[in-house]
Structure 1
Amino acid sequence: MRVAVFSSKPYDRRYFEEYNQVYNYDLSFFDTNLNTQTSNLTQGFDVVCVFVNDHLNEEVIEALADNGVKLIALRCAGFNNVDLKAAEKYQIKVTRVPAYSPQAVAEHALALILTLNRKTHKAYNRVKEGNFSLDKLIGFNVYNKTVGVIGTGKIGQAFCEIMLGLGCKVLAYDIAPQSSLKDRGVSYVTLEELYKNSDIISLHCPLLEATQHLINNESINQMKTQVMIINTSRGGLIKTEDVIKNLKDKKVGYLGIDVYEQEENLFFEDKSEQIIEDDTLLRLISFPNVLITSHQAFLTSEALTEISKTVFQNIHDFENQTSLMNEVKAQ
């Protein structure tokens, strides 16, 4: 099987090459994203392995089919960047990695919360410069705060467990409540109740038509003043302009994001010697109560190991025409 790995980074190559020793697939790594301009690179490949910023619309998928590609193997949990109806139309299977390491993402959400709250990033820079002042570093106790969790799949469940362990009251919203979380003391409520009562709100739901811009002026107006919003899921869950407005108005007290709606041409790349032309991102960066990381929540050795193993298992199952347990289909 010839496999084209797009949007590849050194860590992708390291882990893929290590775990490919079991399968001996013919791997080709491309730094570029897969999109309409680069779909010609898939000529002669059986499989394309793609990530979050690859764009597989109908035009790209038609080109994949013409080039002989038969499987799209996502190495992430989300699949909003793939036109599943087009894949079905052109008889290309789609698989994903549904649960590479829920703890990795959940722990990163906690890191954003604690860093924003206790301002450890600012304290670190101060001390390096010989400034040992504690002025303007006041935080709050996370213990006994009410944390709202939107989406209680595997990552959301892991996050709930962490916050319960910190002594928080946890409210959750999901269309499929988890009885195990209820048993642990998590209260499932309506979105309106969650917005109204949460001191911290963390997003762990997929990006679907129903969740696009879930966080907007209307939903923020229902939240507590100085609410903390955390997003380690998908950038499109937040309407960025509305959050900026509410940061300026001091309705939103803290924003921690590992994903950004327009991250495609920014995240995963070194732009330190370039002028960033995204005025919205620059506006966000200018706020002292905003913390942005560049889609790194998944980046642990355990997660990269599980991603590699699952991607190869998905390809192996496809090659051997066995049941694709991680297949994604159009609704």
Structure 2
Amino acid sequence: MDVTFFNSKVYDKQFFVEENKRFGHKLNFLEVPLNEKTVLLAREAEAVCIFVNDIADSKVLQQLAKAGTKLVALRCAGFNNVDLKAAADLGLKVVRVPAYSPYAVAEHTLALILTLNRKTHRAYNRVREGNFSLNGLMGFDLHGRTVGLIGVGKIGLVTARILKGFGCTVLAYDVRESAEAQEIGVEYTSLEQLYQRSDIISLHCPLTPQTYHLINDYAIASMKDGVMLINTSRGAIIDSRAVIKGLKSEKIGYLGLDVYEEEGDLFFEDLSNKVIQDDVFVRLLSFNNVLITGHQAFFTTDAMQGITRVTLQNISDFEEGKPLVNEVLP
């Protein structure tokens, strides 16, 4: 199939070209994101391949369908940027990569927790400047601490296993309880109890109307003083302005983000020579107990290989008329 990739980077082309040797699709890589202004660039494509910050709303999908596109292939797990009802009405199929490497995201979650706790990012800079003072670098033992996980799917379960290895008590809240999680000692509880009991709270749920701004003023007020909050799932699960208030009041003692609700204009681009115009993001960066990475939790060799393999298999299954096991329905 003719496939046009939007928002593609050097590493996307590297992995997809190599994996495509097995599939034989015609791949066209564009650096621009998909939106209403760029959708015309896909006019020859039977399928488009998009990422987390591309826009596939009803207007974009209408233009894709009109130009002959039949498949929207997401090279990611999240699909909140696609109007699924509009796609179905237009006869467009939507597929995704539901799981690639849950270890990648889970391990990055622990990297954020450990870095914030032991302040290794600050210590690294101090030592490079010849400052070997330990003042302000004190952390705490993870062993014996209580960690609350909101969402215990594949990533949440791997995160729970790692945390249990550290000797943590692991609480969980999810709409579905996992027997596998319970077998390793995860305790399911209400959201309110999770907020009240957790020293660390880590988010691993999808972005839905129910989870939009789940972490808001009310939720933060219910948490322990000095709580550590980690988000490697979707940015809009957290109300950024509410979190800033929590940081200022010291209700939130540590904040680790790999995602941000307005990241579409920031992440995956080199803006080092520009002035960042997002005042909320800049305010978050001003706190010394905040650590932000640019949506890189998924970014391992293993995960990229999994993403490319599943994405290309999804496209081949569509081309060959096979069942779409990774189809996303409205």
TM class, shorter-length? over 0.9
In structure 1, the partner of 2:16 is: 16
1:4 aligns to 2:4 (yes or no): yes
In structure 1, the partner of 2:111 is: 111
The amino acid across from 2:304 in the alignment is: L
What SS does the corresponding residue of 2:264 show, helix, strand or coil? coil
Summarize deviations over 1:50-74 as a string: whole Å, max 9, x none. Answer: 0000010000000000111100000
Distance, in Å, in 1 between the alignment partners of 2:265 and 2:224 is 34
1:133 aligns to 2:139 (yes or no): no
Summarize deviations over 1:134-192 as a string: whole Å, max 9, x none. Answer: 11100111111000000011011110111011100000011111001101110000101
State the 1:44 CA deviation.
Answer: 1.1
In structure 2, the partner of 1:329 is: 329
Moved over 3 A (4+): none
What SS does the corresponding residue of 1:14 show, helix, strand or coil? helix
What SS does the corresponding residue of 2:265 show, helix, strand or coil? coil
In structure 2, the partner of 1:262 is: 262
Distance, in Å, in 2 between the alignment partners of 1:319 and 1:219 is 46
Distance, in Å, in 2 between the alignment partners of 1:271 and 1:163 is 35
In structure 2, the partner of 1:26 is: 26
In structure 1, the partner of 2:185 is: 185
In structure 2, the partner of 1:205 is: 205
Gaps of 5+ in 1: none
1:68 aligns to 2:68 (yes or no): yes
The amino acid across from 1:289 in the alignment is: N
In structure 1, the partner of 2:297 is: 297
State the 1:34 CA deviation.
Answer: 0.2
Summarize deviations over 1:295-318 as a string: whole Å, max 9, x none. Answer: 000000000000000000000100
Distance, in Å, in 2 between the alignment partners of 1:2 and 1:296 is 28
Distance, in Å, in 1 between the alignment partners of 2:40 and 2:305 is 30
State the 1:24 CA deviation.
Answer: 1.4
The amino acid across from 2:271 in the alignment is: K
TM-score normalised by structure 2 residue count: 0.99
Summarize deviations over 1:213-258 as a string: whole Å, max 9, x none. Answer: 0000000111000000000000000000000001000101010000
The amino acid across from 1:113 in the alignment is: I
In structure 1, the partner of 2:309 is: 309
What SS does the corresponding residue of 1:54 show, helix, strand or coil? coil
The amino acid across from 2:75 in the alignment is: R
What SS does the corresponding residue of 2:86 show, helix, strand or coil? helix
Distance, in Å, in 2 between the alignment partners of 1:161 and 1:327 is 29
Distance, in Å, in 1 between the alignment partners of 2:247 and 2:170 is 24
In structure 1, the partner of 2:163 is: 163
In structure 2, the partner of 1:123 is: 123
The amino acid across from 1:97 in the alignment is: V
Distance, in Å, in 2 between the alignment partners of 1:16 and 1:172 is 36
| % identical equivalent positions | 56
Distance, in Å, in 2 between the alignment partners of 1:247 and 1:259 is 17
State the 1:132 CA deviation.
Answer: 1.1
In structure 1, the partner of 2:243 is: 243
Computed over aligned residues only, the root mean square deviation of the Cα atoms, in angstroms, reads: 0.5
Distance, in Å, in 1 between the alignment partners of 2:29 and 2:322 is 26
Distance, in Å, in 2 between the alignment partners of 1:284 and 1:234 is 17
TM-score normalised by structure 1 residue count: 0.99
Distance, in Å, in 2 between the alignment partners of 1:46 and 1:260 is 32
In structure 2, the partner of 1:56 is: 56
What SS does the corresponding residue of 1:20 show, helix, strand or coil? helix
Distance, in Å, in 1 between the alignment partners of 2:162 and 2:154 is 13
Number of residue equivalences: 330
